[in-house]
Amino acid sequence: MAGTTMMTTKMMSSAPGMTPGQSVTSQPPQPSTSLPLRTIPGSYGWPLLGPISDRLDYFWFQGPEKFFKNRIEKHQSTVFRTNVPPSFPFFRVNPNVIAVLDCKSFAHMFDMDIVEKKNILVGDFMPSVKFTGNIRVCAYLDTAEPQHAQVKNFTMDILKRGSKVWVSEFLSSLDTMCYNLETTIKEKGSASFLLPMQKFLFEFLCKAFVGADPSTTPEIAKSGHFMIDRWLALQLLPTVHVGVLQPLEEIFLHSFSYPFFLVGGGYKKLQNFILEQGKEVVERGQKEYGLSQEETVHNLLFTLGFNAFGGFSLFLPGVINRVVSDETGLQEKLVKEVREKGSQGLSFDSVKEMELVQSVVYETLRLDPPVPIQYARARRDFQLSSHDNVFDVKKGELLCGFQQLVMKDPKVFDEPETFKPDRFVGEGKKLLNYLYWSNGPQSGSPSESNKQCAGKDHVTLSAALFLAYLFSRYDSISGDSSSFKALVKAT
């Protein structure tokens, strides 16, 4: 309780965009006129040399977290100029960004009056549109483009209509996965869950989101998740720190884009699968949302494969890892809550009652945000505030926020480096205004006029369902971020 009071006092006195005593809101921060105006520190260095030196620091000598942390210390500011990869020699991009690394400055990226989001999902670099059927899919559209509202509303409509199927398909595919993992543990003593989890995710997402059953198409059932993995990897490799031996990673993964034709065959098969098996949803996109068949199919594939499959594949292993690494008796508490609140069966409604389960999900998203970086381009000149200063930003400049550091903002989160499973319980729910994994606050609502993740609530509720299912089936689990060593069945 004392901790909760301390946290509340802290938020009331120094949360972003707020004056003491003001209540917490999810509104983007207003420039604080009382803060001193400062020129944005940092520079982009010499042409070519500056970007390549920053790229090598980012991928090789420091790694992303240290890269941003070192520069905060050097400039004594959470807002500064730097370069981010990809860059020299073979990418035609502008690597110059303004880093925004505290909760207050980061939140400017949600205000669509002052920023735009055209073609900057992964920064100034954009993978070829060949990866998405020569169409700029929703995630690359700005809110000022009419297609954004069409596609986003279509996506949110699918999710809204299909929530019940979503839950039943999720639980049924998860049940199969757990059964198979138990068998493997009995035979081998442990079981890697990464590929089984991807298979479960692919199967459930196809059925729940597109109404398409992979088991009707043997090749898709067997290899659909691999096809998506390869398609994702080729789009993202130039921007991702993989950890392969250097300089091999720099030479082979970060120096050029891989062409679409390497994964074109698999993509075509997935496209045909959606067209044939997801007919009803594809027709709805055309009839009710005025999209062409091409726009509908490629947007569905992108949301299913990139947003949902990609996001969950990174996120759910992180949830398991946090739970199995805990040494404070978290599993017993989860078991108790799940069995008390889920006795009538598991559903989105029942997991909404499970405060601790939800808080574990939020705390994992805070410390291990699956999409680590967000970008936004200044739509016009404006003033950007950090906790300490105000800065002038010019139209066209690119903001870049690295979530891992933003979510450890000591002015918002007590003991920011520590995984506190109950951080978001009770009064702690106010902190949801500062949980930004979805490109918006967890207390906000995705809509056609913003760029917040359309699946925001489905993501957190599904992860809560995942945890609740595990602790209704098992008394305890042990393992790590990629495998289970023991799954002790509920007695």
Q: Which is nearer to ligand HEM, 253 or 361 (CB)?
A: 361
Minimal distance in Å, beta carbon 315 to ligand HEM? 4
Buried b (16+ CB within 10 A) or exposed e, 367-379: bbbbbbbbbbbbb
CA nearest 107: which of 428, 409, 368?
409
Minimal distance in Å, beta carbon 328 to ligand HEM? 25
Q: Which is nearer to ligand HEM, 219 or 294 (CB)?
A: 294
Minimal distance in Å, beta carbon 120 to ligand HEM? 8
Q: Which is nearer to ligand HEM, 342 or 369 (CB)?
A: 369
Is 2 exposed, middle or buried, given 0-12, 13-18 or 19+ CB atoms closer than 10 A?
Answer: exposed
Q: Which is nearer to ligand HEM, 106 or 419 (CB)?
A: 106
Tokens 């901790």 belong to residue: 3
Q: Is 370 helix (H, G, I), strand (E, B) or coil?
A: coil
Contact predicate 102/78, CB 8 Å: yes
Among positions 24-83, residues that touch ligand HEM (CB under 6 A) are: none
Among positions 389-448, residues that touch ligand HEM (CB under 6 A) are: 437-439
| Cβ atoms within 10 Å, residue 135 | 20
Q: Which is nearer to ligand HEM, 87 or 403 (CB)?
A: 403
Minimal distance in Å, beta carbon 374 to ligand HEM? 4
Strands (E), 296-364: none
Minimal distance in Å, beta carbon 3 to ligand HEM? 28
DSSP 251-298: IIISSSPPPTHHHHHHHHHHHHHHHHHTHHHHHHHHHHH---HHHHHH
Cβ-Cβ contacts under 8 Å for 369 (sequence gap 6 or more): 403, 404, 407, 436, 437
Minimal distance in Å, beta carbon 339 to ligand HEM? 26
Q: Which is nearer to ligand HEM, 18 or 122 (CB)?
A: 122
> According to the annotation, is 138 in a ligand binding site?
no
From 7-15, 23-31, 412-420, 451-459, give the range in contact with ligand HEM by CB under 6 A: 451-459
Residue 458 interacts with ligand HEM (CB under 6 A): yes or no:
yes
List the structure tokens of 189: 């003593």
Is 100 exposed, middle or buried, given 0-12, 13-18 or 19+ CB atoms closer than 10 A?
Answer: buried
Residue 459 interacts with ligand HEM (CB under 6 A): yes or no:
yes
In angstroms, the CA 474 to CA 485 distance is 13
For residues 87 to 126, the per-residue mask of contacts with ligand HEM, x marking binding by CB under 6 A and - elsewhere, is ------------------------------x---x-----
For residues 126 to 155, the per-residue mask of contacts with ligand HEM, x marking binding by CB under 6 A and - elsewhere, is ------------xx------------x--x
Q: Which is nearer to ligand HEM, 50 or 64 (CB)?
A: 64
DSSP 147-196: HHHHHHHHHHHHHHHTHHHHHHHHHHHHHHHHHHHHHHHHHHS-EE-HHH
Minimal distance in Å, beta carbon 401 to ligand HEM? 9
Number of residues that bind ligand HEM (CB under 6 A): 26
Q: Which is nearer to ligand HEM, 178 or 210 (CB)?
A: 210
Cβ-Cβ contacts under 8 Å for 245 (sequence gap 6 or more): none
Among positions 298-337, residues that touch ligand HEM (CB under 6 A) are: 303, 307-308, 311-312, 315
Minimal distance in Å, beta carbon 371 to ligand HEM? 4
Among 174, 356, 454, 470, binds ligand HEM (CB under 6 A): 454
Minimal distance in Å, beta carbon 138 to ligand HEM? 4
Residue 209 interacts with ligand HEM (CB under 6 A): yes or no:
yes
Minimal distance in Å, beta carbon 376 to ligand HEM? 8
Among positions 247-306, residues that touch ligand HEM (CB under 6 A) are: 303
Q: 244 phi and psi, to 5 degrees?
A: -75, 150
Residue 455 interacts with ligand HEM (CB under 6 A): yes or no:
yes
From 38-46, 61-69, 255-263, 453-461, give the range in contact with ligand HEM by CB under 6 A: 453-461
In angstroms, the CA 10 to CA 5 distance is 8
Is 480 exposed, middle or buried, given 0-12, 13-18 or 19+ CB atoms closer than 10 A?
Answer: middle
Cβ-Cβ contacts under 8 Å for 247 (sequence gap 6 or more): 60
From 54-62, 79-87, 387-395, 449-457, give the range in contact with ligand HEM by CB under 6 A: 449-457
For residue 135, the one-letter residue type is I
Contact predicate 212/278, CB 8 Å: yes
Contact predicate 252/233, CB 8 Å: no
Chain residues in the site for ligand HEM (CB under 6 A) = 117, 121, 138-139, 152, 155, 159, 209, 303, 307-308, 311-312, 315, 370-371, 374, 437-439, 451, 453-455, 458-459
Q: State the binding site.
A: 453
What are the binding residues for heme?
A: 453
